[in-house]
Every structure is written in structure tokens, then in C-alpha cells.
Structure 1
Amino acid sequence: MTANGRPRAPLMTNTQADRVKEVARLAGRPSRLRRREFLAEGPQAVREALRLHLTRVDAGAGGVVVDFFATDEALARHDDIAELLVHPTAPRLRMVTPEVLAAMSSTVTPQGFIAVCRFVDTPLDEILASGPRLVAVLVEVRDPGNAGTIIRAADAAGADAVILTGGSVDLYNPKTVRSTVGSVFHLGVVTGADVQDLPARLRAAGLTILAADGHGSSSLDDLQEASESRRFAGSQGDGDSRPPSSGGDDPQPPTPQPTTPWPTGEPSRSVAAASSAADDVRLEDPAAWLFGNEAQGLADTVTAAADARVAVPIYGSAESLNVGTAATVCLYASARAQRAR
């Protein structure tokens, strides 16, 4: 008997069994698309898959995990996973030999657990209707590691969702799933969004659109300093950090200031420069960050639809930042400004 009182299935020992081959085929996109299932591998990923599964089933929704495979050694090392499997609505546990697990796995050194999961992506309409405050948009990001890193960073920064446009890497590529380290089960992820109509839909949902662009005219530092300046001014006054009205019923917009190009070397750190670069963009407002392809970046047609093109300053000699690193910096800047509001 298993820990939750179910009959224990026989130990799977045949690496050539049909079920073993069916699981292994999920490493390929055609099989994933046909069955709408994917692999979660390793203790962290399967732990989060099980937690989401139990939460959904307990709420009366469909579960996530279709099959769960583990070796005796792995289960003995992870008591918390064994405890999740005790739950009455947990998926059935199938014990396998290390050789069988290796035959199923997409990795060279499997870590003792594999869960076959149903697709977990969320429709774009559902995300936008939920009133998101922070969203990461991947525009033709094709590297699985970068996509997974951005999903993980968005999760850590408290973002509401990640949107992958058409032409981006497959969310369910095993390398992408592994790179999220379980975060794919934590937040809404949209796949296959149309990049042409996406800006209008994001803006209609109340989101400021910020394009991460190494050649952007706005500096992330300037936007952060302007946000801090508004917060400080608000804390010294009546709590309203917006510019004062010049009379009448409606507040008047600030007078635009010319943007001063950065000199060579260290960017200007003056509050005036920060304000001139960020009069119309407030990091504390709901935002959708656009992150582009690793080689080409964002197309001009995409950046033209954004409210601002924002560059992450580079103080050292590096030529550029990896898109996953840049996304982490940008998402945390917005998250900090929104939480400090």
C-alpha cells in the first residue's frame, strides 16, 4: 500500500515499456502539442507541480499532474514531496528504477522525479481582465534558458504574468521548464500572443508599456530617481506625490523639459536630469516590460508602440547585458517602485 492507502503499483523496471517510451516522447514538441502534456523534472519542479495540482483539485478545478514517477532513493531524500503524495487527491505514485527514470528523462543526470503535467498556460484575456500591475513580455525570445530565467525573475519580483509572443521559444521545452525552477507553476503565462495587437491591449488594460532597449532614450536609473523623488515629496506633503495643479479643476501636466544626452562615462545623477527623462513615465504605475530577441533585440515597430524605451546603464566595460539579466533588473525596479508607493 502507498502512504495514502492506495495499492502500490508494481515497480517499473522495463526501460522498453510502452509507457516509458510515451513519457520520453514528451521531450519532443509534436508529442507535447498532440497530448497537451509536458515534463516537469527534478524535486523543485515536481514539488511545485504537486502543490498546484492539490490546490486546483481542492478548489474543484482540474488537476495538473497526470502521472508521477519517482525512485525509492529520491523519495527517501525528500520527505516534503512524500508528504504531498499522502493527500487524498494526490496523483498516483509510480515507483521506478533509476534506469527507467533515465530512459524517461530529457536530462543527462536525472534527479529522481518526473511528473507528466497538463499544459498550464493562461489565456491573454484572463490575464488582462485580472487587473495586472506588472507583466513581462517576451518578444521572440528564443533561448530556453533565457525564457526560463525571465519567468523565474518575474515570479520572484511578484509579477502577475509573463506573455510570450509568437516566435518565442516553446514554454514547455524541457530546458525552459527546468530553467523556471518551478516558477512556471506559480504565475500566469500566456503563449503565442500576437505582437501586432498586443500593445493596444496592454494599454487598454491600464498598463504603461516600457521597452527594454540598450539604446533607449530613458535611463532606468533616471526613472528610479524620479520615482524616489516623487515618493519623498509625497512623504513631506499631504501624501499626494503628483505635481501640483496650476489652478482649475484638473491638474496640469508638467512642462516638458529637454532631455540632455548622457556624457561619455558615468550617466548624470542629478534629480533634474532624472525628471526630464521621466516626466511621463512612472515606475510606480502598472507596467508591461517588453524584452526582445537575444540577437536582434526589439524591432523598431515594437519599440515605437511603447510609452518609453528604457536602457539599463552599464558602468563597466561589458558590451551589453544578457536579456535574462536585464529583465531581472527592470522587473525589480518596477516592483520596488510599486511596493514603495
Structure 2
Amino acid sequence: MTSEPNAAPGLPASVLRSVRRLTQRRGRDLTRKFLAEGRQAVREALAADDLVEEVIVHDADKHADLLEGIDVPVWQASEHQMRQLSDTVTPQGIIAICRQLSFDWNDLDDARLVVICAQVRDPGNAGTVIRCADAFGADAVVLTSGSVEIYNPKTVRSTVGSLFHMPILTGVPLTEAVDRVKSMGMTVLAADGVGAPLDLLAADGGLSGPVAWITGNEAWGLPEEDARLADKIVAVPMWGKAESLNLSSAAAVCLYATASAQRRHR
């Protein structure tokens, strides 16, 4: 049975303290929980299998469609309390307390399109790559050792709910990730500024089979020793005057090209 929001004007102090711990990595690691903020993230979290433990809302009437029929406690928070739980300038007024997800390589059986983020440190970039992977039908995302924490609030927010749609493996050494996907019969392609043109590779059928893309770090790209792990280095051709594409834009182009090629060859 759905619980009603508290009649009190704000969260009890004990609840506020426990939830505030989840705004810090140490608290998330200790409890194996995290916060999903915003309507879309909360909607997708609630649609996932038994992940949401509680919901905190400022204006229950504004989010009545999301709260109707849910079988978890719903807490009413003051505007001041919502600001304490959000890392945004303007809190979105609804937060879900979620259990952390758990995946392993067995969840990637039969995968045909995987993204390996090699030491991606920016939470917004990591979240956007996950969102792009979801949009173009990728089967999984792997965040290697040294990458941003997946449950960083900005990462979660940047996925816009895609965090809940696919397996995401974290803390995997790059060499292990490459060995694993190769053992699954995947061609490993490294996205870099200099390499075989993506459009020509697609035209030659090089994207039609199972593919794993390696994307490098925002600041230094993909070191030479890491690029050598790939079967081929691939560049996104640019015909305009821009000096380069950022990480998430390049990933989106590569994922779209690969997903399109794979769909044509089904």
C-alpha cells in the first residue's frame, strides 16, 4: 500500500541525515544506495525492478502521476531540505533513494554493441555517453578503472534515466575489458582523432558485426599503449572548421554509425 507524504512541514532530522549521507561517495559506498533526482530519473527508477526504497518530494501534487500506486514510503520535504539534498542550483523537487545496481560479464551474453569508457573522469560526459548508448541500442557500457563514479549525482542526472536501462560495469581494468569483449567475438575499435575514417569503415562493412568501442579520457584522449589494444583506430571525419569533437559527441556519432550498420545487416 502506498504511504502518504508526512504531514509534518519537512523531513524528520534522522531521515534528512541519512539521505544527506548519500550526497557523498563515502555514504553511497557504505550503504550501497544512491540518489536519483528529477522526474525522468525517478520515473525510470520506479519502473526498474525493486530498486527504489523511498521517495522524497517537495510538492506531492505536482508529481502525483509518479507517486500514484507506488509501494514505497513517500516523504514530504521543505524547499530548504530539498536544496540540501540536491547539487543543482534549482532542485527538481523529487528524489528517489535507490539500491545500487549490480552487473557482471554474464549480463553481456550475446552483446553486439558495447562502449568501453577508458578513464572518463567528467561525470557529465560519462552520463551523456550512457544516454547515447541507450538511445542507439547498445547492450552495455563499461567504465574502466579510474573513471568517474557511476553514482555521482551529476552522472546519474546526465543519464536522464538511461542508467536503469542497460548493464553498466564499473572499475574494470581496460586490458580485462578488451580481453573479455574479444573473447565474445567482438571487434574492438578505438575512437581517436587520427585513424581510419568512420564513414569508409561503415561502407566497407566494418561496423556490421559485433563491435566494442573504446573512448578515451577527455583531457589526454587514448594513450598509445591503450590504443594498441584495439583491432583498429577509427576517426570521425569532419568537413567543417571545428578543431575537434568532445568525447560524448564523438561517441554518439560512432554509436549511431555502428547501430545503423548492424540494423542494415540483420
TM-score in terms of structure 2 length: 0.94
Quote the Cα distance in structure 2 between the aligned partners of 1:146 and 1:137: 13
Q: What CA deviation, in whole Å up to 9, does each residue of 1:287-319 have, x standing for no partner? A: 100000011111212211111100001111211
Deviation, structure 1 residue 224: 2.0
8 A contact 1:137–1:164 mirrored in 2: yes
Percentage of matched positions with identical amino acids: 47
Q: Which has the higher strand share?
A: 2
Question: Aligned match of 1:161 in 132, 140, 159?
Answer: 140
Q: Compared with structure 1, are the counterparts of its residues 302 and 94 closer, same or farther at alpha carbon in structure 2 (3 Å cutoff)?
A: same
Gaps spanning 5+ residues in structure 2: where?
Answer: none
- Alpha-carbon contact 1:162-1:188 (below 8 Å) kept: yes
Offset at residue 197 of structure 1 (A): 2.2
1:98–1:316 CA distance, 2 compared to 1 (3 A)? same
Looking at structure 2, the residues matched to 94 and 22 of structure 1 have their Cα atoms a distance apart, in angstroms, of: 13
Deviation per CA, 1:241-275: give whole Å up to 9, x if none.
xxxxxxxxxxxxxxxxxxxxxxxxxxxxxxxxxxx
Deviates more, 1:178-187 or 1:91-100: 91-100
| 1:179 counterpart letter in structure 2 | S
Decide whether the 8 Å contact of 2:188 with 2:232 is kept in 1.
Answer: yes
Q: CA deviation digits over 1:173-220, x for unaligned, max 9? A: 00100000010011110000111222111100111100001111x110
Farther-moved stretch of structure 1 (97-106 vs 301-310): 97-106
The one-letter code matched in structure 2 to 1:80 is D
Q: Give the gaps of 5 or more residues in structure 1.
A: 57-62, 228-281
**Structure 2 CA distance, aligned partners of 1:121 and 1:153?**
21
Residue 35 of structure 2 corresponds to residue 111 of structure 1: no
**What corresponds to 2:83 in structure 1?**
102
Aligned to 1:181: 160
In structure 1, the residue matched to 2:202 is 224
The equivalent of 2:17 in structure 1 is: 21
Q: Which residue type is aligned with residue 251 of structure 2?
A: A
Query: Which one has a bigger Cα radius of gyration?
Result: 1
Which 10-residue stretch deviates more, 99-108 or 193-202? Answer: 99-108
Calculate the TM-score normalised by the size of structure 1. Answer: 0.74
Looking at structure 2, the residues matched to 49 and 7 of structure 1 have their Cα atoms a distance apart, in angstroms, of: 18
SS at match of 1:211: strand
Matches within 5 A, 1:39-58: 39-52=35-48, 56=49
Structure 2 CA distance for partners of 1:15 and 1:76, relative to 1, 3 Å: closer
* Preserved CA contact (<8 Å) 1:69 1:115: yes
**Partners of 1:13 and 1:99 within 8 A in 2:** no
**Residues 134-163 of structure 1: per-residue CA shift (max 9 Å, x gap):** 001100000011000000000000001000
1:48 & 1:159 partners in 2: Cα distance? 18
Conserved? CA contact 1:24–1:105, under 8 Å:
no
Counterpart of 1:170 (choices 149, 154, 170) is 149
What SS class does the counterpart of residue 47 from structure 2 fall into?
Answer: helix
Q: CA deviation at 1:121?
A: 3.9
**The residue matched to 1:101 in structure 2 has which SS?**
helix
